[in-house]
Amino acid sequence: MTRAIGKKRNQSSSIFWIVVLSGMASLVIMVAALQYRWTKQLIEATEAGMGNSLRPLTVGWHLDFYGELSAICVALQVGPDSGAHDAWADYLQRYTKWSREDIASDAPETVNRSPDLVEQVYIWETSNRTSPKLLRLAPEENKIVSSEVPHDLKPLLDRLQAASSTLPQALRAWQALRVSPEKNSVDLRATPSSALPRWSGAMIGWQLDKNIPAVVHPLVHHEQPFDSNSPVRRVAVDWMVVVLNLDTIRQRIIPNLTERYFGGPAGLEYKLAVVESGKPLHKIYSSDADFPSGDNANFDSRLNIFGPSPDTGDTLAWRTGKSEPAQGLGNSFSGLVWFPVIQYGTQDAPWMLLLQHRTSPLQGIAADIWRRNMLAGGIVLVLLIIDLGLIVIASRRATNLAKLQLNFVASVSHELLTPLAAIYCTGQNAADGLIEVKPDIIEHGSIITGQTRQLIDLVRQILMFASTDSGTSHYSLRPLSVEEILQCVRKDVAVLVDAAGFLVEEHVEPGLPFVMGDLHALSHCLQNLISNAVKYSGKSRWIGVSVSAHYVGNHDEIWIAVQDRGVGIGDSDLAHIFKPFYRSAKSVDAQIHGTGLGLAVAARIAEAMGGRLSVTSEVEVGSIFTLHLRVASSEARMEEQPALSLVRLKEVHK
């Protein structure tokens, strides 16, 4: 009757979960259909958004790029007065402070602070026409030192020296000056007045030579350069020269800005390159090894990074970028010019920022995004279904585990009540004065001690399972001889075997090697196997223990087998007998005492010793439980040998 009720409950539970899963599957299908419709409607909006996003991203990239390059200019504070109130020591102090790592992060001069971008800072004293001198600011030594003119800086310094007669001339050194081959000098007057820019007011000051690269600024000369209070000679011009690190620009600044502005969930959405235009193009940086290539008209956007505004530029590269509209998402335009470019003429090739979307046309990009969204949504829905299935499986497992635990509590309660009842009855007999003669006293004492031992074994079994389940068991592994293990087991099971009237037959191969293990744990493991053999042997009163050596895989093992001739184990139960709390229905019906923990504890002990537990069984024939243990290595035996010798020496002295 009870089993029938339980079966009906299981069927009702299964129907409930089938209905729930069917409802959730229908809901998932509905959500998938709605997601498909909604994402399809967003394709046009995605196309428009991508088209409008490119230009502000490019402008933002350009502004931040200039911010990185201008950070040192802000820190040095060479104002519109071209240093009329500052001496060389003032610039050294500012540069030293800016170079320190502990400078306050909220200070104005720390915005876009990049000390690794600045390679060197020089002061080029051209006020002395006969013997110009190059000074280097050394922040690590906090002093200004004389320096030889580096070879790569000589063209720039010559150009600055040629344009340093007066401050107005120096402030116009960015123009396309013409060099006189006869005099090997710069002829500023040869520059036509039409080339003067309309934005040449407050913007003039810091100027950039992109070929090095370096930024420069004219400085009015002090009579005493290291004293800001000394008189100023405005007709004499010196120069601040900041040499930038091209590798830092290539390897850190441009890649970081590219990732910041053009990165997406799947990586860079655009191919980006900074090139020095010309034939052929010279790559400063490229996000892809094969970019750029082909026709310029395929670029989504082009930006003349250091070029002049459209009313002054006349180079072929700029005219091409200005007159031919780009195809795709953006166009060609000039960014804000904060640094006038010193060497910008018909023979110079400007730096160009080139952008090209990785997938084109735009409809294909939007469709690809839509497909990715659909795939992501589908994966989420599939994971949701899988989660629901896992919840159902976990719920059913939890239910089965709860049933096993309830059965365990019932079994333990029964195992506890039986010896407690015997102890109670024996004690009651003593209290009632029924025990008078010595034989009765001995008999009742034997009952109490036997039942108490049974209680102790039960509690010990539960504690052993709890320690192995929580992982708090601590084992002392050492080389053990087979005889040492069997001797300990005989001592532990002697009372049980003798009381049940069993014959234990042993077969041990001679000359077996040592095994690694904990003596008491292995003894407990084999004791559980022998106890099982006693309980399930039926009418047979025979137990066989055999020990043999085997070569398995690439190592040697010792097999300790415990055999009985009892009821055996069915195939349906063999897969579960090592699980905690499990007891076969046949054992429960036969009212065989047990808690379902013995084999689980034995298996865990075997695994903790680096071995395993196996079983072969046939119904009504018997079972063989085999403990597989690894042979101890020769190194472990050598380490153990001094300790054994010391123990024997102490025994001899006793």
314 in a structural domain: yes
Q: Taking Cα atoms as reference points, which of 121, 145, 129 lies closest to residue 185?
A: 129
* Dmax (CA) of the chain: 142
Q: Which residues does residue 561 pair with via DSSP β-bridges, in sequence order?
A: 546, 626
54 in a structural domain: no
121/160 same-domain check? yes
Q: Taking Cα atoms as reference points, which of 511, 552, 583, 61 lies closest to residue 302?
A: 61
526/587 same-domain check? yes
Average pLDDT of every residue of the chain:
75
- At which of 245, 266, 284 does a domain end? 245
Residue 644 banded pLDDT, cuts 50, 70, 90 = very low
Tell me the per-residue pLDDT of 108-142, one tens digit each, with 9 for 90 and over. Answer: 555 667 889 999 999 999 887 788 999 999 998 88
Share of the chain above pLDDT 90, in %: 16
453 in a structural domain: no
Tell me the per-residue pLDDT of 339-371, one tens digit each, with 9 for 90 and over. Answer: 777 765 556 678 889 888 887 645 456 667 777
Supply the CATH number for residue 625's domain: 3.30.565.10
**Strand pairing report for 232-244 and 214-222:** antiparallel
Please tell me whether residue 232 adopts helix, strand or coil conformation.
strand
> What total of structural domains would you count in the chain?
3
Residue type, 40: K
Residue 10 banded pLDDT, cuts 50, 70, 90 = low
CB 273 within 8 A of CB 291: yes
Residues 6+ apart with CB under 8 A from 120: 136, 137, 242, 243
Q: Taking Cα atoms as reference points, which of 435, 380, 408 lies closest to residue 580?
A: 408
549 in a structural domain: yes
What is the model's pLDDT at position 314? 39
- Tokens at residue 86, please? 């500052």
pLDDT at 430 over 80: no
Q: Which residues does residue 624 pair with via DSSP β-bridges, in sequence order?
A: 563, 616
241/358 same-domain check? no
480/606 same-domain check? yes
Tell me the per-residue pLDDT of 602-639, one tens digit each, with 9 for 90 and over. Answer: 888 888 888 889 999 888 888 999 999 988 877 666 66
Polymer length in residues for the chain? 654
CA 339, CA 307: separation in Å to the nearest integer?
9
Q: Which residues does residue 232 pair with via DSSP β-bridges, in sequence order?
A: 222
Least confident of 8-22, 283-297, 327-341, 442-456: 327-341
Q: Which residues does residue 135 pair with via DSSP β-bridges, in sequence order?
A: 123, 146
Residue 157 banded pLDDT, cuts 50, 70, 90 = very high
Following DSSP, what letter does each residue of 571-617 receive, concatenated?
HHHHTTTTSTT---HHHHHTT----S-HHHHHHHHHHHTT-EEEEEE
- Which domain, by its residues, includes 304? 251-362
Backbone angles phi, psi at 490, to 5 degrees: -55, -40
138/276 same-domain check? no
Q: Is the peptide bond before 642 cis (omega within 30 degrees of 0)?
A: no
Return the axis-axis angle of helices 254-262 and 43-76, rounded to nearest 10°.
150
463 in a structural domain: no
155/224 same-domain check? yes
**Strand pairing report for 143-146 and 207-209:** unpaired
- At which of 302, 332, 362 does a domain end? 362
**How many Cα atoms within 13 Å fall on the side-chain side of residue 211?**
13
CB 256 within 8 A of CB 271: no
What is the model's pLDDT at position 413? 63
230/261 same-domain check? no
CA 500, CA 487: separation in Å to the nearest integer?
20
Residue position matching structure tokens 């994971």:
383
Least confident of 530-534, 548-552, 597-601: 597-601
Residue 450 banded pLDDT, cuts 50, 70, 90 = low
Determine the average pLDDT of the residues in 305-324: 45
Q: Please give the C-alpha separations between residue 368 and each of 31, 201, 253, 364, 500, in angstroms, as whole numbers.
A: 21, 49, 30, 6, 78
What is the model's pLDDT at position 610? 86
Q: Taking Cα atoms as reference points, which of 172, 170, 245 lies closest to residue 213?
A: 245
- Tokens at residue 202, please? 């407050």
Q: Burial code of 315-346, b = ≥16 C-beta within 10 A, e = fewer?
A: bebbeebbeeebbbbbbbbbbebbbbbbbbee
CA 419, CA 452: separation in Å to the nearest integer?
7
**Strand pairing report for 301-304 and 270-276:** unpaired
Find the angle CA(335)-CA(336)-CA(337) to the nearest 5 degrees. Answer: 110
- Tokens at residue 611, please? 């071995």
Return the axis-axis angle of helices 438-470 and 598-608, rounded to nearest 10°.
50
For the chain, the straight-line distance linking the first and the last C-alpha, in angstroms and rounded, comes to 69
pLDDT at 381 over 80: no
- Tokens at residue 160, please? 């600055």
9 in a structural domain: no
Torsion of CA 635, 606, 537, 426, to 10 degrees: 100
- Tokens at residue 146, please? 């004389």
164/300 same-domain check? no
331 in a structural domain: yes
237/255 same-domain check? no
568/506 same-domain check? yes
- At which of 346, 362, 378 does a domain end? 362
pLDDT at 595 over 60: yes
CA 612, CA 383: separation in Å to the nearest integer?
36
146/87 same-domain check? yes
**Strand pairing report for 301-304 and 332-334:** parallel
Q: Burial code of 516-550, b = ≥16 C-beta within 10 A, e = fewer?
A: bbbbebbbbbbbbbbbbbbbbbeeeeebbbbbeee
- Tokens at residue 621, please? 């024939």
Q: Is the peptide bond before 361 cis (omega within 30 degrees of 0)?
A: yes
223/183 same-domain check? yes
Tell me the per-residue pLDDT of 177-211, one tens digit each, with 9 for 90 and over. Answer: 444 444 444 444 444 434 434 433 334 588 888 88
- Tokens at residue 427, please? 């004690």
CA 458, CA 469: separation in Å to the nearest integer?
17
What is the model's pLDDT at position 433? 74
Q: Please give the C-alpha separations between residue 445 and each of 37, 248, 355, 454, 521, in angstroms, as whole numbers.
A: 85, 91, 97, 14, 30
68 in a structural domain: no
Distance of CA 148 to the CA centre of its chain: 49
Residues 6+ apart with CB under 8 A from 185: 162, 179
